[in-house]
Copies of this chain bind each other. A is one copy, B any other.
Amino acid sequence: MAETMKSGAVERITIVGAGLIGASIALALRRAQPGCRIAAVDPDPAVRAALVPGIADAATDDLAVGLRDAQLVFVACPVGDMPAVLEAVARLAPGDCLVTDCASTKASVAIAAADAFGIDSPRFVAGHPIAGSEGSGPGAARADLFEGRIWLLCPAGPAQEKSAARLGELLERMGARVESIHPAAHDAMFAEFSHWPHAVAFALCAAIADGAFADAARHFSGAGLRDTTRIGASSPQLWTEILLDNREPVLASARRFREKLDALEAALRASDADGLEALLAAGSRWRRAVD
């Protein structure tokens, strides 16, 4: 990695994919490191138009142009595009440039990165900022999106551990709390408490949308429904890719959820007040310990 990166002063950073996460990274970097130059690469002309000058110094749809002279690259494109984008970035980025990604799944990224950069290449370290919102696009970006939030890194070996330590310093200056995790553990965990809950919220929204009370629900619903379904407003395209990419762990979480749902419905059908209350209490006990 370049000496400048080692000393903590990264001057030239490229964001590949400038949606909510990519654009928020640019804003957080500007705040953490006011002198840096930020280039953005995005295929969407409307996104590029929204980036300059407030979010990035330059925006292009040409990866080779965007990566020229880069010392650090954040790849924040959709999960499904990751293998092709990592291959192109490995080919086009300077040899001493560090590359990281922001995808919500990590096992498939680990495989794609090993293909693109080689196994445990110091040029890459996989990452996942645990931050976001139901919004999408650079219009939803916020400089404080990572403030106090965990940013997971998944180094594949000793070489990437060193790169992760250097990258982590910058991420902490952006407000994040950096931790390391193994890709398979990451994917099983996020299936359980992010990906499957998103699927449930989407299904709940789809059922209400298709029922007799789709309009009434908008009028009468309180904070409870709003909260429960909020992530159901997330990008369908993005979440289709995440769910498919992390299919087996998500289906395992789905099985565990269905066991509880079946038990709850059976208790309700049988008017089994004690059984029903025991089930609700188990969930409630866990949730009360969350905040």
Contact = CB atoms under 8 A, between A and B. Distances in A.
A223 B271 contact: no
Given A234-B284, A287-B230, A210 B256 contact: yes
A63 interface: no
A205 to B, nearest CB: 3
A291 to B, nearest CB: 7
A207 B259 contact: yes
A228 B257 CA distance: 14
Contact of A268 (B236, B250, B269, B285): B250
> How many monomers of this protein are in the complex?
2
Contacts of A259: 207
A114 B97 CA distance: 77
A66 to B, nearest CB: 28
Contact of A243 (B223, B268, B287): B268
B189 A216 contact: yes
A231 B152 CA distance: 28
A264 to B, nearest CB: 5
A214 B290 CA distance: 10
A233 interface: yes
